[in-house]
Amino acid sequence: MNTNTTEFLSLKNRSDNAILNTYARYPVAFVKGEGRQLFDTEGKRYLDFAAGIAVNSLGHAHPRIAKTLFEQSSRLTHVSNLYYSEPGIKLAERLIELFGPGRIFFCNSGAEANEGLFKLARRFGQESGKFEIITALNSFHGRTLGGIAATGQEKIKKGFSPIIPGFSHVPFNDLEAAETAITEKTAAILIEGIQGEGGITPARAEYLISLRKLCDEKNLLLLFDAVQCGHFRTGRFQSYQRILEGGSAEFSFQPDAVSFAKSIGAGFPMGGFWLPEKRIDLFQPGSHGTTFGGTPLACAVANTVLDVIEEEGLQSNARETGRELAEGLRNLVSTYPSLLREVRGLGFMVGLQLNGEARELKHEKLNPVQVVINRLLEKGLLVVPSGETVVRFLPPLNTTRAEIEEGVQIVKQVMSEL
């Protein structure tokens, strides 16, 4: 790290004086990226298993993305949704192929995509007076007023009262809790297939199937927030497809809406949601919109992202190389049982659960995961915390075996030195 170099200190100083202080940043400034590598102001190399928090699905500076950005921006960047343009139509057609028959709404971020789901639920319940959405404890659904209301974490809501009414939270993977929480006002249940900010906790297959049944019986919408776990990260397009794999529901299971964002644009901001055919009439012209949604530039990039994922077999890379990541980390759990508890997740969405009680991870000011992440950063590996005791690995979908090995070796070194 370059905490003390003049260039870093100057950037930090300018940032502190110009950018609102809403993030606790790490003491590093990046100037360049290449594949799965990042370089800081000192020229130090880092292996990037954070991928901009599950965004850079093709790593950094991918030549195909650069080419698409250049070509599309030389032709047409934005016209608004008052007119038609081909890149968004093509992208929607391809997403429908992947999700199933229905329609796509494009927007610009995960929180905005989820706002669409909240509005969908209200629209759905409007005539019968239903508007409440049940979500999971430890979930994360974004930072808008609706997003923080939906998020099942008190710390996210703190200081923003009154919180928008109409959301309740129940333990994840607990069907009985969801059933008990249903009232005559409930319109929908919203979950993440794998809780990303809540410790990398995948939904169990029986839970998904039972939730679908429960929602059908009670006439509720079953909504998925796939902002982090979607778009091939788990080794399938959607996490619920991966979780249900091999079972009778693998091909028949269908949510009532799925939100997406992050890696769909591989770094170009975009989001959206999919609705199955039977829900598309809940929105009509005038009921929802956004200026930038589905802009030709964003959609051209997302089309290229889909092309590269397909051409380079990145779905199976996420699955197979992701398995090697999990296995490598599991070996470390066996070697360092006093520091590490378990490994969870699917594909390239992996959580390493620390033993929060370990003496070596205690720190006056930092929680255990920060202690570990700071050490990894010093050694040139970028990862992200998930809660206070889980190290989250979200490598780009094109990460190689050799890079995974290198990353695991860095974790091993840090564990051996703790």
Which residue from 41, 56, 57, 109 is in contact with ligand PLP, where contact means CB under 6 A?
109
Strand, coil or helix: what is 103? Answer: strand
Q: Does 192 engage in binding with ligand PLP (CB under 6 A)?
A: yes
Task: Report the residue number, 112 or 403, with the smaller CB distance to ligand PLP.
Answer: 112
Min dist CB 259 to ligand PLP, Å, is: 7
Q: Does 110 engage in binding with ligand PLP (CB under 6 A)?
A: yes
Strand, coil or helix: what is 159? Answer: coil
Which residue from 48, 115, 132, 225 is in contact with ligand PLP, where contact means CB under 6 A?
225
> Nearest CA to 52 among 217, 273, 189, 233?
233
Q: Which residues are CB-contacts of 231 (< 8 A; sequence separation ≥ 6)?
A: 57, 237, 260, 262, 263, 264
Min dist CB 271 to ligand PLP, Å, is: 6
Question: What CA–CA distances, in Å, run from 202 to 139, 152, 243, 320?
Answer: 11, 16, 8, 18
Instruction: Point out which span in 213-221, 222-230, 234-242, 308-316 binds ligand PLP (CB under 6 A).
Output: 222-230
Q: What is the DSSP letter of 346?
A: E
Which residue from 33, 125, 166, 196 is in contact with ligand PLP, where contact means CB under 6 A?
196
Which residue from 62, 141, 169, 233 is in contact with ligand PLP, where contact means CB under 6 A?
141
Q: What is the DSSP letter of 398?
A: T
Which residue from 111, 318, 350, 376 is in contact with ligand PLP, where contact means CB under 6 A?
111
Task: Report the residue number, 141 or 169, with the smaller CB distance to ligand PLP.
Answer: 141
Tokens 């360092």 locate to 336
Nearest-5° Cα angle at 248, 275 to 206: 80
Task: Report the residue number, 119 or 185, with the smaller CB distance to ligand PLP.
Answer: 119
Q: Does 95 engage in binding with ligand PLP (CB under 6 A)?
A: no
Q: Does 58 engage in binding with ligand PLP (CB under 6 A)?
A: no
Sign of the dihedral defined by the CA atoms of residues 71, 77, 82, 88, in that order: positive
Q: Which residues are CB-contacts of 415 (< 8 A; sequence separation ≥ 6)?
A: 332, 335, 336, 339, 340
> Nearest CA to 377 among 9, 52, 31, 49?
49
Q: Does 227 engage in binding with ligand PLP (CB under 6 A)?
A: yes
Q: Does 115 engage in binding with ligand PLP (CB under 6 A)?
A: no
Q: Does 114 engage in binding with ligand PLP (CB under 6 A)?
A: yes
Q: Does 228 engage in binding with ligand PLP (CB under 6 A)?
A: yes
Q: Enter the tokens of residue 418.
A: 């703790």
Tokens 């919408």 locate to 221
Min dist CB 307 to ligand PLP, Å, is: 23
Q: Does 142 engage in binding with ligand PLP (CB under 6 A)?
A: yes
Which residue from 133, 148, 223, 261 is in contact with ligand PLP, where contact means CB under 6 A?
261
Dist. CA 103–CA 402, nearest whole Å:
40
Min dist CB 236 to ligand PLP, Å, is: 17
Question: What CA–CA distances, in Å, run from 390 to 140, 149, 316, 363?
Answer: 15, 24, 25, 16
Q: Does 302 engage in binding with ligand PLP (CB under 6 A)?
A: no
Min dist CB 105 to ligand PLP, Å, is: 15
Bridge partners, residue 168, by sequence: 134
Binding site for ligand PLP (CB under 6 A): 53, 109-111, 114, 140-142, 192, 196-197, 225, 227-228, 261
